Chain A
């Protein structure tokens, strides 16, 4: 919603890297997030990045932020079948009062 956009599907083989992309429109966003949704469950925060950072690494996850192009990406190294889920990009605005989510990218990991 509100112009946070993601591709809908991504399919990779187990062991490969996955890259999920997101674009947003509000340059005043303070934090950007990646949430993971497994079937039948709510969303869980995977990682986040503050808007003055370019990159954040957390174990198998790497987040890249290009503020000029308003582009956010999530790279999952050595993707496992347990990583199969829907991944949502989100941004916060207005001092964390409002959050805007993309439509979600469904990641399918083939054995």
Chain B
């Protein structure tokens, strides 16, 4: 089954404790991206990657890092989480060939930073 898998789905952590949210897709998509969803603000793009070793900032990259060492994986790293990073995070992927830009989303990771 074609899917985007995120882990963990739920996490409560404390300020300053480094964490990684993993994202993996099995559709051989070149493009992957991370979003955060906050009430009244919709989804805002954090980082995106056009292919292996190619990443770029979205609109809200502060406090986050990413890496793209393999095509299928695109982890989101919070080096020193703060309470304003409490949010619902989505990973998405897309094919860049024959493109309509359709994004395939994971089920989301709800992060609470105390």
A and B: bona fide binding partners: yes
Q: Taking beta carbons and an 8 Å cutoff, which residues of A are in contact with B?
A: 1-2, 4, 6, 8, 30-31, 33, 35, 40-45, 48, 88, 90, 92, 96-104
Cα distance, A60 to B49, chains bound together (Å):
35
With A1-B42, A88-B43, A96-B99 already in contact, the answer to whether A42 and B106 are too (CB < 8 A) is: yes
Chain A minimum-CB-distance residue to B49? A97
Interface check B4, CB cutoff 8 A: yes
Q: How many B residues have CB within 8 A of the partner chain?
A: 28
Among all A-B residue pairs, the 8 with the closest Cβ atoms: A42-B105, A101-B43, A103-B42, A96-B101, A101-B42, A92-B101, A43-B105, A1-B44
A106 to chain B: closest CB distance in Å? Answer: 11
- Decide: B48 and A97 in contact? CB cutoff 8 A: yes
B33 to chain A: closest CB distance in Å? Answer: 7
Interface check B100, CB cutoff 8 A: yes
List, in ascending order, chain A residues with CB within 8 A of B59's CB. Answer: 1-2, 98
- Decide: B107 and A41 in contact? CB cutoff 8 A: yes
Cα distance, A3 to B32, chains bound together (Å):
23
B92 to chain A: closest CB distance in Å? Answer: 8
Cα distance, A92 to B99, chains bound together (Å):
11
- Decide: B42 and A45 in contact? CB cutoff 8 A: no
A60 to chain B: closest CB distance in Å? Answer: 20
Q: Please report which residues of chain B, range 73-99, place their CB below 8 angstroms from some CB of chain A when the two chains form the complex.
A: 90, 92, 94, 96, 99
Find A31's partner among B41, B90, B100, B105 (CB 8 Å cutoff).
Answer: B100
List, in ascending order, chain B residues with CB within 8 A of A96's CB. Answer: 31, 94, 96, 99, 101
Cα distance, A98 to B102, chains bound together (Å):
12
Cα distance, A99 to B93, chains bound together (Å):
12
A41 to chain B: closest CB distance in Å? Answer: 6
A39 to chain B: closest CB distance in Å? Answer: 11
Cα distance, A31 to B101, chains bound together (Å):
8
Cα distance, A104 to B40, chains bound together (Å):
8
